[in-house]
Structure 1
Amino acid sequence: MSAHIARTLKYASLAVACLAALLPLVTVFMAALKDTREFATTGPLDPPSNWFNLDNFVTAFTRGNMLQGFVNTTIILVISVTGAILIGTMAAYAIDRFGFRGRGLVTWAFLLATLVPGVTTQVATFQIINSLGLFNTRWAAIALFMGTDIVAIYIFLQFMKSIPRSLDEAAMLDGANRLTIYRRIILPLLKPAIATVVIIKGIAIYNEFYIPFLYMPSSELGVISTSLFRFKGPFGAQWEIIAAGAILVIVPTLLIFLFLQRYIYNGFTSGATK
């Protein structure tokens, strides 16, 4: 009897959690399908009169420069994630395979850096970006996103420990140097970890607002998040258009996550057990 009650409570809690996660999305989606008059006269949970009203999506996409936002986001995301993967895998390779003094201190330094609030360092960061001539260019965001975080290094380190050192030794006997070992042996074997980091960091960059807003104020450099934010100007009272823009931003992330979620879970579990 107690097992039946526990099972019932478990599924009930899961149902409540799903409802809490889906209700805001459903509300925003229904708002995006309403015109101005209908949005003002109906409640947030009232269904739209026309489920095929796509006028708000067209307005958000064309007048909100969403296409340009998608292009800028894609350019920044691809370059940043590629650079972060290279830096992260090289750092994990050096920490795990090379014996040097302070190796543990390096890992602790990354952990310590995560405890420092990013806002407290923005003045110095902004001065560095401005002095390098990167302000109001895509390279400002790329340089900041390319920094590898401790989560990525941790995932790579866990996978590195599962790769036998005998492979390195065998390659060295065949005349391979450290760079060749990294490129031909280590990097291909890190594909599950790389897929996990690509998804996690890619979604984080896709949803990032603060860095593009601060370092790329030009409207021509708008990304998805800042393009959506600019709706508050010309569409300040037209929440149905803002809702349509939000749906356009959410859909790509949602589809990618649903399609690749098994790689995220497998990456974390494999890295934790190997």
Structure 2
Amino acid sequence: MSAAALTRGAGPLLGPLGKALKYASLVAACVVAILPLVTVFLASFKTQDEFRETGPLDAPESWTNLDNFVTAFTRGGMLQGFLNTTIILVVALAGTILIGTMTAYAIDRFDFRGRGLVVGAFLLATLVPAVTTQVATFQIVSGLGLFNTRWAAIVLFMGTDIISIYIFLQFMRSIPRSLDEAAMLDGANRLTIYARIVFPLLRPAIATVVIIKGIAIYNEFYLPWLYMPSRDLGVISTSLFRFKGPFGAQWEVISAGAVLVIIPTLVAFLLLQRYIYNGLVSGATK
């Protein structure tokens, strides 16, 4: 029997088998991703004795036991962490959007020497390992008097990365230059064109950058831990990390703190995930 005949004969069998293996692998991946979250969620509602005596996947005796969440908020400093995170997140995102859209507008709309070099410099900056520049960055932040203040994290997060530049540029190229020319004939200057015509049309790109960079800032640990060591300036990631001290043996309280940190990100992603996918591809296909 030839190889072609064997392939044709095995085709009907490999089809259902391949589909079954595909779905089985997807189910296994979902279990691996969800199981730790379920374990942490169940532990957050258990008492200390219940946590020691029951299995990790056993349901708590009372789903209304919110003592662990209250402890996390009051004694764990999570409320202050959420407040600091919100302030840093809002100011840094506003600065990123303003700087990023202006940069993309200048690169796309103005013809000047070295335009390609500017884009290449942004790309080159992303290729340099961040750990190699931490000494110089720390000296600059300290020299500016920003160390141990919220502005240290805000200024560092505000730096526009190549992903934001790329997203804004893709959308900018989909906006006809004829709109700029028509506005200039009516007497508008470049700043007016940017603020009243280009910026409103970049709303899909802005939404995409807000989601992507917002989640990155929300989950960041290293920069707040290094540049804001004060407990009063702790964000949610550093506040959760500090649980290892006063609550080192109270895993149910630590689980409650982890749930408090996970829920906002999870809800935001589930509600806004379509904007991530649409925003990344729509600018390149218009």
Whether TM exceeds 0.5 here: the answer is yes
Are residue 272 (structure 1) and residue 270 (structure 2) matched? no
Residue 75 of structure 1 is matched in structure 2 by 87
Say which of 183, 196, 212 aligns to 1:200: 212
**Aligned AA for 2:60?**
P
2: distance between equivalents of 1:89 and 1:16? Answer: 42
* 2-structure distance, mates of 1:8, 1:271: 36
Partner of 1:234: 246
Correspondence 1:226-265 to 2 at 5 A: 226-265=238-277
Equivalent residue runs for 1:114-263 within 5 Å: 114-263=126-275
Structure 1 match to 2:97: 85
**Partner letter of residue 194 of structure 1?**
I
Map Cα deviations across residues 158-207 of structure 1 (whole Å, 9 max, x no partner).
10111111111111111111111110111000000000000111111111
SS at match of 2:145: coil
Please give the residue correspondences for 1:52-67 in structure 2 after superposition, counting only pairs within 5 Å: 52-67=64-79
Distance 2:15 2:119 in 1: 44
Q: Take 1:3 and 1:100, find their aligned partners in 2: how far apart are those partners?
A: 57
Q: CA deviation at 1:134?
A: 0.5
1:45 alignment partner, SS class? coil
- Partner SS, residue 33 of structure 1: coil
Q: What is the one-letter code of the residue matched to 1:117?
A: P
Distance of 1:247 and 1:108 partners within structure 2: 41
2:21 & 2:271 partners in 1: Cα distance? Answer: 29
CA-atom RMSD in angstroms: 1.3
Letter in 2 for 1:151: I
Q: For the residues of structure 1 that align with 2:282 and 2:144, how far apart are their CA atoms?
A: 40
Residue 29, structure 1, aligned to residue 29, structure 2 = no
AA paired with 1:114? Answer: T
Say which of 39, 42, 54 aligns to 1:42. Answer: 54
Kindly provide the CA deviation profile for residues 79-136 of structure 1, in whole angstroms up to 9, marking residues without a partner as x: 0000000000011111111111111111111111111111111110010000001111
SS in 1 for 2:246: coil
CA–CA separation in structure 1 for the residues paired with 2:19 and 2:192: 53
TM-score in terms of structure 1 length: 0.96
Of 26, 31, 35 in structure 2, the residue corresponding to residue 14 of structure 1 is 26
Deviation (angstroms), 1:7: 3.6
| Count of aligned pairs | 274
Question: How many angstroms apart in 1 are the aligned matches of 2:118 and 2:22?
Answer: 42
Deviation at 1:140, TM superposition (A): 0.5
Q: Matched residue of 1:169: which SS? A: helix
Deviation larger for 264-273 or 2-11: 2-11
**1:213-234 CA deviation, whole Å, 9 max, x = no partner?**
1111111111111111111110
Taking only the aligned residue pairs, the percentage that are identical comes to 78
Go from structure 1 to structure 2 and tell me whether the alpha carbon gap of 1:3 and 1:179 turns closer, same or farther (over 3 Å shift). Answer: farther
Q: More deviation in 78-87 or 172-181?
A: 172-181
Q: Tell me the CA shift for residue 44 of structure 1.
A: 2.1
The residue that corresponds to 2:7 in the other structure is none
Which letter maps to 1:48? P
5+ long unaligned stretches in structure 1: none
Provide TM-score, normalisation by structure 2: 0.92
What letter corresponds to residue 23 of structure 1 in structure 2?
L
> Shift in Å at residue 269 of structure 1?
1.8
TM superposition shift of 1:3? 4.5
Which letter does structure 2 place at the counterpart of 1:204?
Answer: A
Query: In the alignment, residue 89 of structure 2 is paired with which amino acid?
Result: L
